[in-house]
Chains A and B, each alone.
Chain A
Amino acid sequence: MNDLTIPLTMQVNGTDHSIDVEPRRHLADVLREDLALTGTHLGCEHGVCGACTVLIDGEPARACLMLAVQAEGSEIVTIEGLADADGTMHPVQAAMHQAMSFQCAFCTPGFLMSTIALLRDNPSPTTEEIREELSGNLCRCTGYQSIVDGVETAVELMGSDR
Chain B
Amino acid sequence: MTATRQTSGLGFVGQRVMRVEDERLLIGDGHFVADGDPTAVLHAAFLRSPFAHADVVSIDVSAARALDGVVRVFTAAELNARTNLFPPFLMTNGLYAPLFGCLSERRVRHVGDPVALVVATSRAIAEDALELIDVDYEELDAVGSIKAALLGNAPKVWERAKGNVLGDFTDEFGDVAAAFDAADHTIEATLTCPRQTNQPMETRGIVVTVDPDDGHLDVRSTTQAPHFLKWALAALLIDKPTLRSVGDFVRNKERRSAFGAAAKEFVAANRHRLTEQDPRGLLSQVRADRSTLPLMNRIGAGLLAAADYPTVRAGDIGGGFGSKGPVSREEIAIGAAASIMGQSIQWIEDRVENLLDGGQAREEQFRVRVAVDSDGTLRALDVDAIIDQGAYPGFPIPPSVTAKFWKVYMPGPYDFGAFRLRARTVATNKGKVVPYRGPWANETWMRERVIDIVAAELELDPGDVRAKNVLRPESMPPAMITGPTLDETMSAAKTLDHALAMIDRDELVQQKSTAEARGHRLGVGIACYHEAAPGPANFWSSIEPGSDLLLYEDGRAELAADGTIRMYTSQSPHGQSHQTTYKQVAADEFGVSMDDVEIVWGNTDRTQFTLLGTGGSRGGPLGAGVMRVTARNVRDKVAEVAADMLEANVSDIEIVAGNIHVAGVPAKGMTYRDVAAKLAADDGITSGPVLTDQVRYEGVGNGGWSVATHVAWVDIDLETGEVTIPRYVVVEDCGPIINPGVVDGQVRGGVAQGIGAVFYEKHHYDEHATLMTTTYMDYLIPTAMEIPEIEVVHLETLTDGENDARGVGEGGMIGAPAALTNAVSDALGVQVTEQHLPPYRLLELAGIIGPD
Contacts and interface: CB of A to CB of B under 8 A. Distances in A.
Interface of A: 1, 22, 24-25, 32-33, 36-46, 48-49, 51, 78-80, 82-83, 87, 89, 93, 96-98, 100, 102-109, 112, 130-132, 134-148
Contact of B744 (A42, A112, A146): A146
B350 A103 contact: no
A134 B742 CA distance: 22
Interface stretch (B29-37, B398-406, B463-471, B704-712): B29-37
A100 B746 CA distance: 12
A149 B752 CA distance: 16
A149 B217 CA distance: 44
A125 B320 CA distance: 33
B483 interface: no
A40 B109 CA distance: 36
A138 B776 contact: yes
B202 A106 contact: yes
Contact of B124 (A25, A46, A48, A135): A25
B201 A138 contact: yes
B748 A146 contact: yes
Nearest to A138: B781
Give 7 closest A-B pairs by Cβ, nearest first: A39-B28, A106-B318, A104-B575, A143-B752, A143-B748, A79-B28, A103-B575
B351 A104 contact: no
Nearest to A46: B775
Contacts of B785: 131-132, 135
A135 B575 contact: no
B124 A145 contact: no
A51 B201 contact: yes
B18 interface: yes
Nearest to B352: A46
B29 to A, nearest CB: 7
Given A41-B32, A82-B27, A104-B574, A144 B319 contact: no
Nearest to A148: B784
B255 interface: no
Nearest to A150: B26
B201 A49 contact: yes
A100 B742 contact: yes
Interface string B197-211: 001111100000000
Contacts of B37: 36
Interface in B739-765: 741-742, 744-745, 748-753
A107 B789 contact: no
15 contacts: A1-B122, A37-B28, A38-B28, A39-B29, A41-B201, A45-B351, A48-B775, A100-B19, A100-B742, A100-B745, A103-B745, A130-B784, A140-B781, A142-B749, A146-B744
Given A97-B18, A100-B16, A104-B201, A146 B27 contact: no
Listed residue (B27, B199, B574) with the most chain A CB atoms within 10 angstroms of its CB:
B27
B25 A46 contact: no
B576 interface: yes
A141 B575 contact: yes
Contact of A104 (B16, B200, B750, B787): B200
Nearest to A44: B351
Contact of A1 (B35, B124, B741): B124
A145 B750 CA distance: 12
B596 interface: no
Nearest to B68: A1
Interface of A is mostly: loop
Interface string B1-32: 00000000000000010110111011111101
Contacts of A98: 18
B199 A140 contact: yes
Interface of B: 16, 18-19, 21-23, 25-30, 32, 34-35, 37-38, 67-69, 122, 124-125, 128, 199-203, 316-319, 321, 350-351, 574-577, 741-742, 744-745, 748-753, 775-777, 781, 783-785, 787, 789-790
A30 B778 CA distance: 28
Contacts of A24: 124
Contact of B30 (A48, A87, A105, A139): A105
Contacts of B124: 1, 22, 24-25
A83 to B, nearest CB: 5
A150 B203 CA distance: 26
B816 to A, nearest CB: 10
Contacts of A144: 752, 783-784, 787
B749 A103 contact: yes
B201 A102 contact: no
B22 A143 contact: no
B200 A142 contact: no
B575 A1 contact: no
Contacts of B122: 1
Contacts of A134: 783-784
Given A137-B783, A145-B748, 18 more contacts: A1-B122, A32-B35, A43-B202, A46-B775, A49-B351, A79-B28, A80-B28, A83-B27, A96-B22, A100-B741, A104-B317, A108-B25, A108-B26, A109-B28, A137-B784, A140-B199, A140-B753, A144-B787
A43 B201 contact: yes
B30 to A, nearest CB: 6
Nearest to A112: B26
Given A102-B22, A103-B577, A141 B319 contact: yes
Nearest to B756: A140
A24 B22 CA distance: 34
B317 to A, nearest CB: 6
Nearest to A98: B18
B459 to A, nearest CB: 36
Given A104-B574, A140-B321, A145 B790 contact: yes
A36 B28 CA distance: 11
Contact of A140 (B16, B26, B319): B319
B22 A42 contact: no
A43 B354 CA distance: 10
B351 A43 contact: yes
